[in-house]
């Protein structure tokens, strides 16, 4: 249970982060969510209810991340699911776009861990987000794969350097979240069906599947430095 515990979820206005906020609140936690869009935060807050505070934050801005943690005060668990990702063929991807992926998903999590750690309880935890393309090479994911691998490696080293704070990494597979809302519905459904067909579990993931794993990592005091694959077996096929 998470009674009297404060959980900060950067990226908590959508998808896996929002579902993690819901499950943490159900276990008794007080939750702070943050992301860039005021509108998404407002809608999330309506779903999450009175025990939630929300702050606008762009994790690519180091200064903003620093001032965000001055506002949160001390807390128990940090979850960083914030990311906006993209793919594309290596030779046709502009270098600026590749660097932007690192800015958003790697440096965003780096800043969050750097400025969040001093505010964490010694019994607390940090959960970072990697992804299956770090563990299974996929055409079109050269940069994202490198970003995700970098996040996993950062997290495992931080588990040693920040101890006794525990640091773990979740590596989701293909999860049906608003992250693919810009894809036309038909193409999205076809993509999910083709992935599901190849997976041992014969379905893509739900935000709930991954949130459950985050809650496990937050609550199990004997787990640190782990990469938890929540991908329906995708990394082993």
Ligand X SMILES: NC(=O)c1ccc[n+]([C@@H]2O[C@H](COP(=O)([O-])OP(=O)(O)OC[C@H]3O[C@@H](n4cnc5c(N)ncnc54)[C@H](OP(=O)(O)O)[C@@H]3O)[C@@H](O)[C@H]2O)c1
Instruction: Determine, following the binding rule CB under 6 A, whether residue 168 of this chain makes contact with ligand X.
Output: no
Q: Give the C-alpha separation, 213 to 63, whole Å.
A: 30
Region near ligand X per CB under 6 A, out of 77-85, 114-122, 182-190, 214-222? 77-85
Cβ(210)–Cβ(19) under 8 Å?
yes
Instruction: Determine, following the binding rule CB under 6 A, whether residue 85 of this chain makes contact with ligand X.
Output: yes
Region near ligand X per CB under 6 A, out of 21-29, 58-66, 111-119, 154-162? 58-66
Of positions 13, 23, 142, 224, contacts ligand X by CB under 6 A: 13
Q: How many CB atoms lie within 10 A of CB 107?
A: 20
Q: Give the C-alpha separation, 51 to 156, whole Å.
A: 31
Q: Omega into 164 within 30° of 0, i.e. cis?
A: yes
Instruction: Determine, following the binding rule CB under 6 A, whether residue 20 of this chain makes contact with ligand X.
Output: no
Instruction: Determine, following the binding rule CB under 6 A, whether residue 16 of this chain makes contact with ligand X.
Output: yes
Instruction: Determine, following the binding rule CB under 6 A, whether residue 152 of this chain makes contact with ligand X.
Output: no
Instruction: Determine, following the binding rule CB under 6 A, whether residue 81 of this chain makes contact with ligand X.
Output: yes
Region near ligand X per CB under 6 A, out of 34-42, 112-120, 154-162, 187-195? 34-42
Instruction: Determine, following the binding rule CB under 6 A, whether residue 127 of this chain makes contact with ligand X.
Output: no
Instruction: Determine, following the binding rule CB under 6 A, whether residue 198 of this chain makes contact with ligand X.
Output: no
Tokens of 231: 């991908």
Of positions 108, 124, 155, 232, contacts ligand X by CB under 6 A: 108
The closest residue (CB) to ligand X is: 15
CB of 4 to ligand X, least distance (A): 26
Instruction: Determine, following the binding rule CB under 6 A, whether residue 118 of this chain makes contact with ligand X.
Output: no
Instruction: Determine, following the binding rule CB under 6 A, whether residue 59 of this chain makes contact with ligand X.
Output: yes
Residues that bind ligand X (CB under 6 A): 10-11, 13-17, 35-37, 40, 57-60, 81-85, 104-105, 108, 129, 131-132, 172, 174-175, 177-179
């Amino acid at each position: 249970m998470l009674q009297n515990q404060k959980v900060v979820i950067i990226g908590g206005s959508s998808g896996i982060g929002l579902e993690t906020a819901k499950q943490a609140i159900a276990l008794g936690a007080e939750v702070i969510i943050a992301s860039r869009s005021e509108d998404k935060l407002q809608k999330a807050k309506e779903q999450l209810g009175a025990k939630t505070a929300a702050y606008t934050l762009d994790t690519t801005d180091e200064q903003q991340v620093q001032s965000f943690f001055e506002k949160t005060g001390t807390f128990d668990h940090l979850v960083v699911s914030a990311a906006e990702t993209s793919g594309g063929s290596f030779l046709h991807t502009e270098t600026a776009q590749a660097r932007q992926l690192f800015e958003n998903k790697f440096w965003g999590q780096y800043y969050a861990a750097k400025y969040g750690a001093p505010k964490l309880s010694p019994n607390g935890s940090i959960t970072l987000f990697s992804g299956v393309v770090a563990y299974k090479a996929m055409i079109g994911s050269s940069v994202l794969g490198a970003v995700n691998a970098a996040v996993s490696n950062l997290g495992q080293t931080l588990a040693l350097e920040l101890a006794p704070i525990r640091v773990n990494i979740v590596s989701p597979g293909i999860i049906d979240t608003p992250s693919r809302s810009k894809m036309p519905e038909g193409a999205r459904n076809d993509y999910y069906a083709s992935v599901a067909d190849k997976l041992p579990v014969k379905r893509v993931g739900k935000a709930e599947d991954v949130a459950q794993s985050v809650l496990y990592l937050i609550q199990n005091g004997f787990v640190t430095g782990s990469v938890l694959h929540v991908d329906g077996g995708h990394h082993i096929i």
